[in-house]
C-alpha cells in the first residue's frame, strides 16, 4: 500500500441521476486505481475515493472533464476524508437525506449507439420504437414523483424481462439504472388505428419482420393522409410536406390558417434540398435537444407553399425518437409536417383516449403507443443569430434544465404572462422554467398551467414562500396568484420583468438601461405599454422614455385587425383630416367611419405605447396586411419585406419627466412614401433604420443623464432579426455593453424568470 494513500469525499450536485453517472464513476475509478464507493443521494451523487494523491487528483479532474453527455454538474465539493482501506470500488445503495435537491434531466434524442442497435437485424431490439439507454430517451415527460426511480415513472407498468433486468443491474452496461429500459419482450408497443378506433396493425419488432404498424403509417402518409403520431411529449399531426393537398387539408381541419407548420426530415442532406444550413444551424439541428431550427428557404424547393406562407423561413427539426427514425426509414420522405396535435390555441394532446375525441375530425389515422406521457412538452424553437442560440420557445429538450443565477434566492413561484405562458420555480441559485404552456385563453390551457405548477413543485421538492405575478388584474395567471394561500404575493410590472429576465440569465448587476419592446403589457398608469426604455435593477425601475401613446381602437380587436391601429396612428398624426390611403379600400366604409367617434368619446380605445402595435399599424398602412390570423403576423411580414436600401424618416423625442417619442413624424414620412408609391421594401427598411437610430440616440442621451453604459434588450419585438441585429450593432458602436437573451426567450415565454428574480429582490429588500 502506498504511503501517500489518501481519501476524498466528493459531493456532486446537478443533473447526475438517471444519466449514467454512477457507472461512469465506476469505470473511471477502475482506470485510476481508485477504491471506495459511489451512491446516489437526495442531493446528487456522493463518492468516497481512496488512492495515491496523483491518481486521486486525476480522477477528480476527469469527473468534470469527461462526465456523461446528459450530465450537468452545478457543484462539485471535494473534501478530505478518513481512509477506510477499501479493497475495490463499488456502487452502493442510494442514500436518502432530508431535502431532495437533485436535478431532473430533460428528454433527449435517441443516441447513436441505440440507433445502431435498432437498425441491426441481429440485435434483440431490432426496429424497436422504444430503445433507449442512460444517454438518451425520455426523462421529464415520464416522471411522476421523486426520487427518479422506475416506480415513479410511466414505465412502472412494464416489468423488465430477465435480459433487460441484467442490463439494468450491470454497472458496466450503458443501461445500468436506465429507468425507461425496455425491449420488445417486456416494453411498450405501437398500435395503428383508424378514426373509428379499428386496430389496423400492431407493432412487432425485435426480429426481421420489422414493424408492420410503422410500415403502414409510412404508406398512409405517402398516400396523402393525415396521421396523429404519439411522440415524446405529446402527439404530432403529420402529413407529407411535399403534398399541397394534404397540407391544405391539415390547415383547414386544424383551424390554423397561415401560421407556419414545423417540418421534420430524416437527415441533413434532405434538409439541404429545401433550406440553407450554416455550421451553427447544423450544431443546433444535431444537438441532443433536437429543437425546431429556423432556416432560410431555398428559392427553388419542393415543399408545399402552404407549409410556411409569407415567410422566408422554415422551422425544421431532425428525428429525435426511435419511432420517428423508423417512419422515415419505412418511407422515402423529403420532409413531413410535424405540428403539435391540437386545435389552434389548445394544449398538445398526450392521452390515447383523448386523442380520438379531440382529433377525430383532424386525423385520418392514429399511431399510438402504450407508454403514458405524464407531462406534455411541445417542441422547442430556436434560431442562430449573431453568434448565439436564440429561443422562440423553450420546451422539450431544455425544460426543466435550470437557469443558473448569480445569487441564492428564497423559493419563489412566478406565474408568468397570459401569452406564451411558462412558470418559474427557484431554489438556491437555480431558476427552473417550465416547458411552454401556451396562451392562457381557455380552460384546457389553464388546467395544464395548474398541473405544471403542481408537478414541478413535486419533482423539484420546492415549497414556495413567495408567489410573483403580473400586474394585469385580468390575466388568469394573476388571478391564480392572488387566489393562492400561504405565500407572500408580489406583483411585478410586465416590462420590468422582461428586463430582469435578461439581467438574470446574463448574471448581470444593475442598474441598466432596459429596452423592453413588445405587443402589450399592463403599465403602472393603467395604460398598455410596450415601447419602453427603463432604468432598472432587480428591485425597482423607472420609466426613462417611451413611445407617445396612441389610441388602440377596439382594444383586443386592434391586435386581430391591424388596420385599426393604422387608422389610430393616422388620426393621431393628422386628426380628422387624415389622408385616404389604398389600404382603406379593403375595409368596409362603415367600419372605418366609426373609429374617429370611438376615439373622441374614448369608447373601448385604450392608449398604448406599444412598439409591437406600431409595427402592426405601419404594416397595415403600407397595405401588407389588414387582418392577421396569428399574433405578430403583420409585423413579421413587414420585416420579411425589408430591402437593402438605406435612408431614414424623421425621428425626435420630447423632454420632460420621461422622454416621449412621438410617432407622428415617422407616420408622416411613411404616408408620403405610400402615396408616392415607394416600394414597400424601401419603406420597411427605412422604418427599421429610423427606430434603430432613434432608440440608440436616446440611449446615448440617457447615458449622459445617468452614466449607465449597460443596455439589456428584451421583449417579443426583439424576435425581429433586422431590429435586433441593428440595435446590437448600433449600441456596440456607441460603446455600450449590450446584453440579450440566449437561455430563455425574449418574448413572454421568458418573463416568469424575471418575475421570480424581481419578486425575490423586492421581498428580501
Residue 756 belongs to some domain of the structure: no
Domain boundary among 369, 404, 420: 369
Please compute the mean of the pLDDT values over residues 661-671 and round it to a whole number.
98
Omega before 340 cis (within 30°)?
A: no
Model-level pTM?
A: 0.94
Confidence of residue 1 (pLDDT cuts 50, 70, 90): very low
Measured CA to CA, the distance from residue 585 to residue 434 in angstroms comes to 45
Residues 636 and 565 in one domain: yes
CB 385 within 8 A of CB 414: no
Give the model confidence (pLDDT) of 565-617 as tens digits.
Answer: 999 999 999 999 999 999 999 999 999 999 999 999 999 999 999 999 999 99
HSE on the CB side for 242, CA within 13 Å?
15
| 3 state SS of 51 | strand
Number of domains in the chain: 4
Residues 314 and 205 in one domain: yes
Residues 626 and 697 in one domain: yes
Residue 20 belongs to some domain of the structure: yes
Tell me which residue range forms the domain holding 147.
Answer: 112-169
For residue 679, pLDDT over 90 is answered with: yes
Residues 274 and 347 in one domain: yes
| 3 state SS of 469 | strand
CB crowding 688-699: b at 16 or more within 10 Å, else e: bbbbbbbbbebb
Confidence of residue 206 (pLDDT cuts 50, 70, 90): low
Average pLDDT along the chain:
94
For the chain, the straight-line distance linking the first and the last C-alpha, in angstroms and rounded, comes to 56
Confidence of residue 208 (pLDDT cuts 50, 70, 90): low
Pairing of strands 659-661, 541-547: parallel
Task: Please report the pLDDT score of residue 14 as a whole number.
Answer: 83
Task: Please report the pLDDT score of residue 718 as a whole number.
Answer: 98
Residue 765 belongs to some domain of the structure: no
Residue 121 belongs to some domain of the structure: yes
Residue 396: name the closest of 142, 127, 112 by CA: 142
Task: Please report the pLDDT score of residue 645 as a whole number.
Answer: 79
Percent of the chain surpassing pLDDT 90: 86
The domain that contains 733 carries what CATH number? 3.30.420.40
Give the model confidence (pLDDT) of 227-265 as tens digits.
Answer: 999 999 999 999 999 999 999 999 999 989 999 999 999
Residue 652: DSSP 8-state: -
For residue 3, pLDDT over 80 is answered with: no
Lowest-confidence region among 146-155, 332-341, 528-537, 753-762: 146-155
Domain boundary among 369, 396, 424: 369
Give the model confidence (pLDDT) of 335-363 as tens digits.
Answer: 999 999 987 778 999 999 999 999 999 99
CB atoms within 10 A of CB 718: 26
Q: Residue 295: enclosing H or E segment and its boundaries?
A: strand 292-296
Pairing of strands 5-15, 365-369: unpaired
| 3 state SS of 372 | coil
C-alpha cell at 172: 458496466
Measured CA to CA, the distance from residue 574 to residue 569 in angstroms comes to 8
Measured CA to CA, the distance from residue 387 to residue 380 in angstroms comes to 19
Residues 82 and 117 in one domain: no
Task: Please report the pLDDT score of residue 105 as a whole number.
Answer: 86
Residue 530 belongs to some domain of the structure: no
Residues 118 and 220 in one domain: no
C-alpha cell at 359: 382529433
Residues 132 and 252 in one domain: no
Residues 718 and 594 in one domain: yes
Question: How far are the Cα atoms of 4, 25, 72, 108, 146 from residue 29, in angstroms, in the given order?
Answer: 18, 6, 19, 27, 28
Cβ-proximal residues to 703 (8 Å cutoff; 6+ apart), any chain? 513, 709, 736
Confidence of residue 207 (pLDDT cuts 50, 70, 90): low
Give the model confidence (pLDDT) of 468-480 as tens digits.
Answer: 999 999 999 999 9
Residue 127: DSSP 8-state: T
Task: Please report the pLDDT score of residue 93 as a whole number.
Answer: 76
Q: Is 274 exposed, middle or buried (0-12, 13-18, 19+ CB in 10 A)?
A: buried
Count of residues making up the chain: 765
* CA gyration radius, the chain: 28
For residue 720, pLDDT over 90 is answered with: yes
Measured CA to CA, the distance from residue 497 to residue 759 in angstroms comes to 9
Residues 21 and 159 in one domain: no
| 3 state SS of 291 | coil
Confidence of residue 95 (pLDDT cuts 50, 70, 90): low
Please spell the DSSP secondary structure of 514-555, one letter per residue. EEEEEEEEE-TTSSEEEEEEEEE-SS-EEEEEEEPPEE-TTT
HSE on the CB side for 204, CA within 13 Å?
7
For residue 98, pLDDT over 60 is answered with: no
Cβ-proximal residues to 426 (8 Å cutoff; 6+ apart), any chain? 405, 409, 410, 411, 412, 414, 432, 462, 756, 757, 760
CB 99 within 8 A of CB 65: no
Residues 196 and 82 in one domain: no
Residue 611: name the closest of 654, 526, 570, 550 by CA: 550
Residues 152 and 256 in one domain: no
Please compute the mean of the pLDDT values over residues 75-91 and round it to a whole number.
92
Task: Please report the pLDDT score of residue 646 as a whole number.
Answer: 77
Residue 293 belongs to some domain of the structure: yes
Confidence of residue 5 (pLDDT cuts 50, 70, 90): confident
Task: Please report the pLDDT score of residue 345 as a whole number.
Answer: 76
For residue 104, pLDDT over 50 is answered with: yes
Q: Residue 598: enclosing H or E segment and its boundaries?
A: helix 589-601
CB atoms within 10 A of CB 278: 11
Question: How far are the Cα atoms of 406, 752, 761 from residue 509, in angstroms, in the given order?
Answer: 9, 19, 12
Instruction: Return phi, psi of residue 485, to 5°.
Output: -120, 155
Residues 267 and 316 in one domain: yes
C-alpha cell at 218: 409510412
Residue 401 belongs to some domain of the structure: no
Residue 363 belongs to some domain of the structure: yes
For residue 407, pLDDT over 60 is answered with: yes
Q: Residue 660: enclosing H or E segment and its boundaries?
A: strand 659-661
Please spell the DSSP secondary structure of 383-418, one letter per residue. EEETTEEEEEE--TTTTTPPEEEEEEE--EEE---S
The domain that contains 71 carries what CATH number? 3.30.70.100
For residue 177, pLDDT over 90 is answered with: no
The domain that contains 231 carries what CATH number? 3.90.870.40
Pairing of strands 44-52, 466-470: unpaired
Amino acid at each position: 500500500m502506498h504511503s501517500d494513500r489518501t481519501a476524498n469525499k466528493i459531493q456532486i450536485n446537478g443533473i447526475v441521476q438517471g444519466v449514467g453517472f454512477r457507472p461512469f464513476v465506476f469505470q473511471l475509478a477502475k482506470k485510476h486505481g481508485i477504491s471506495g464507493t459511489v451512491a446516489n443521494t437526495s442531493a446528487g451523487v456522493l463518492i468516497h475515493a481512496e488512492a495515491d494523491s496523483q491518481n486521486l487528483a486525476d480522477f477528480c479532474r476527469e469527473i468534470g472533464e469527461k462526465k456523461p453527455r446528459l450530465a450537468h454538474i452545478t457543484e462539485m465539493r471535494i473534501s478530505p476524508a478518513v481512509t477506510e482501506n477499501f479493497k475495490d470500488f463499488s456502487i452502493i445503495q442510494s442514500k436518502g437525506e432530508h431535502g431532495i435537491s437533485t436535478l431532473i434531466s430533460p428528454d433527449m434524442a435517441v443516441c447513436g449507439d441505440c440507433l445502431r442497435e435498432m437498425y441491426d437485424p441481429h440485435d434483440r431490439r431490432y426496429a424497436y420504437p422504444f430503445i433507449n439507454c442512460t444517454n438518451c430517451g425520455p426523462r421529464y415527460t415520464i416522471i411522476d414523483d421523486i426520487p427518479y426511480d422506475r416506480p415513479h415513472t410511466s414505465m412502472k407498468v412494464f416489468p423488465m424481462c430477465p435480459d433487460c433486468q441484467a442490463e439494468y443491474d450491470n454497472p458496466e452496461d450503458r443501461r445500468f439504472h436506465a429507468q425507461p429500459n425496455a425491449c420488445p419482450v417486456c416494453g411498450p408497443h405501437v398500435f395503428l388505428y383508424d378514426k373509428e378506433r379499428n386496430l389496423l396493425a400492431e407493432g412487432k419488432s425485435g426480429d426481421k419482420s420489422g414493424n408492420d404498424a410503422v410500415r403502414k403509417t409510412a404508406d398512409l402518409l405517402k398516400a396523402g393522409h393525415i396521421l396523429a403520431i404519439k411522440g415524446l411529449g405529446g402527439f404530432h399531426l403529420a402529413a407529407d410536406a411535399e403534398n399541397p393537398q394534404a397540407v391544405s387539408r391539415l390547415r383547414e381541419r386544424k383551424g390554423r390558417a397561415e401560421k407556419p407548420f414545423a417540418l421534420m426530415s430524416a437527415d441533413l442532406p434532405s434538409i439541404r434540398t429545401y433550406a440553407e444550413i450554416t455550421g451553427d444551424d447544423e450544431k443546433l439541428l444535431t444537438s441532443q435537444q433536437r429543437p425546431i431550427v429556423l432556416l432560410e428557404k431555398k428559392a427553388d424547393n419542393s415543399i408545399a407553399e402552404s407549409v410556411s406562407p409569407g415567410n422566408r423561413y422554415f422551422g425544421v427539426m431532425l428525428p429525435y425518437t426511435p419511432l420517428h427514425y423508423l417512419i422515415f426509414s419505412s418511407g422515402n420522405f423529403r420532409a413531413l409536417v410535424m405540428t403539435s396535435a391540437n386545435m389552434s390555441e389548445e394544449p398538445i394532446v398526450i392521452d390515447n383516449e383523448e386523442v380520438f375525441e379531440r382529433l377525430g375530425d383532424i386525423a385520418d389515422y392514429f399511431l399510438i403507443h402504450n407508454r403514458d406521457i405524464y407531462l406534455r412538452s411541445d417542441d422547442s424553437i430556436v434560431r442562430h443569430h449573431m453568434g448565439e442560440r436564440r429561443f422562440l420557445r423553450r420546451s422539450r429538450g431544455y425544460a426543466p434544465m435550470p437557469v443558473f443565477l448569480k445569487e441564492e434566492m428564497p423559493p419563489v413561484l412566478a406565474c408568468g404572462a397570459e401569452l406564451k405562458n411558462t412558470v418559474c420555480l427557484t431554489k438556491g441559485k437555480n431558476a427552473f422554467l417550465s416547458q411552454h404552456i401556451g396562451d392562457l385563453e381557455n380552460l384546457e390551457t389553464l388546467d395544464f398551467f395548474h398541473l405544471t405548477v403542481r408537478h414541478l413543485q413535486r419533482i423539484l421538492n420546492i415549497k414556495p414562500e413567495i408567489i410573483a405575478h403580473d400586474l394585469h388584474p385580468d390575466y388568469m395567471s394573476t388571478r391564480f396568484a392572488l387566489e393562492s394561500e400561504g405565500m407572500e404575493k408580489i406583483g411585478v410590472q410586465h416590462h420590468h420583468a422582461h428586463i430582469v429576465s435578461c439581467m438574470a440569465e446574463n448574471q448581470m448587476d444593475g442598474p441598466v438601461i432596459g429596452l423592453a419592446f413588445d405587443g402589450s403589457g399592463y403599465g403602472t398608469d393603467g395604460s398598455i405599454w410596450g415601447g419602453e426604455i427603463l432604468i432598472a435593477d432587480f428591485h425597482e425601475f423607472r420609466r426613462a422614455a417611451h413611445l407617445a401613446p396612441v389610441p388602440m381602437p377596439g382594444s383586443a380587436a386592434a391586435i386581430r385587425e391591424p388596420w385599426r391601429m393604422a387608422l389610430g396612428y393616422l388620426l393621431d398624426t393628422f386628426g380628422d383630416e387624415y389622408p385616404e390611403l389604398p389600404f382603406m379600400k379593403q375595409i368596409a366604409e362603415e367600419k372605418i367611419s366609426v373609429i374617429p367617434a370611438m376615439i373622441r368619446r374614448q369608447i373601448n380605445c385604450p392608449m398604448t405605447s406599444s412598439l409591437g402595435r406600431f409595427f402592426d399599424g405601419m404594416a397595415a398602412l403600407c397595405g401588407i396586411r389588414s387582418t392577421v390570423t396569428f399574433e405578430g403576423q403583420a409585423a413579421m411580414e413587414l420585416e420579411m419585406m425589408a430591402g437593402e436600401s438605406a435612408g431614414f424618416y424623421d425621428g425626435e423625442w420630447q423632454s420632460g419627466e420621461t422622454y416621449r417619442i412621438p410617432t407622428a413624424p415617422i407616420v408622416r414620412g411613411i404616408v408620403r412614401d405610400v402615396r408616392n408609391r415607394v416600394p414597400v421594401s424601401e419603406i420597411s427598411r427605412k422604418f427599421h433604420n429610423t427606430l434603430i437610430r432613434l432608440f440608440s440616440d436616446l440611449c446615448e442621451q440617457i447615458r449622459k443623464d445617468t452614466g449607465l453604459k449597460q443596455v439589456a434588450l428584451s421583449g417579443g419585438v426583439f424576435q425581429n432579426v433586422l431590429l435586433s441585429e441593428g440595435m446590437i450593432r448600433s449600441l456596440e458602436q456607441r460603446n455600450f455593453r449590450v446584453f440579450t437573451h440566449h437561455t430563455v426567450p425574449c418574448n413572454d415565454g421568458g418573463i416568469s424568470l424575471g418575475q421570480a428574480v424581481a419578486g425575490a429582490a423586492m421581498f428580501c429588500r
